[in-house]
Amino acid sequence: MTGFFEWDIEDSRPTFSFYLTSHKCKRHPATALRAARLAGSLTVSGPDGPTVVRQLRAEGLDVPVRFDGVGYNGKNRLDPLEWVEAQREADAAELFLPGVLILWDGGNDELLMDTVREQTRIANELGVSLALVVRR
């Protein structure tokens, strides 16, 4: 039974995604699998997200999954190419860069634009999408 039937959603495409940490998925795989059935899609955050999802796929997870590398938190410095490959190996629905934080005061656009250009260059080289967090 899928969430589309349970919630009487007429369109069979996923309409939303539950956002779960990789830690939550690892510690409570049944919760992750249930969330996947209800939403029809998952977003899993954390550097080990693709590894955890590969394990969940072995347990029957068969919905589209996106990953958030949380590179914007300042703790995780993931190599973009390695991150993209890890997502590919986990059969990601869409590939993203690990993410970066841009501190922007709303006045000087130079740092903002330099970071966006650099991330765009990397994303274009790898054929993936950007993940940017702008904070004031």
Return the pLDDT at 6.
52
Q: What residues contact 72, with CB distance under 8 A and at least 6 apart?
A: 99, 100, 101, 131, 132, 133
Burial code (b: 16+ CB inside 10 Å, e: under 16) for 89-111 equals: ebebeebbbbbbebebeeeeeee
Tens digits of pLDDT across the chain (136 residues) = 444 445 555 555 556 899 999 999 999 999 999 999 999 999 999 999 999 999 999 999 999 999 999 999 877 789 999 999 999 999 999 999 999 999 888 888 998 999 999 999 999 999 999 999 998 8
In sequence order, the 6+-apart residues with CB closer than 8 A to the CB of 24 are 31, 32
Quote the pLDDT of residue 10.
Answer: 59
- Confidence (pLDDT) at 9: 55
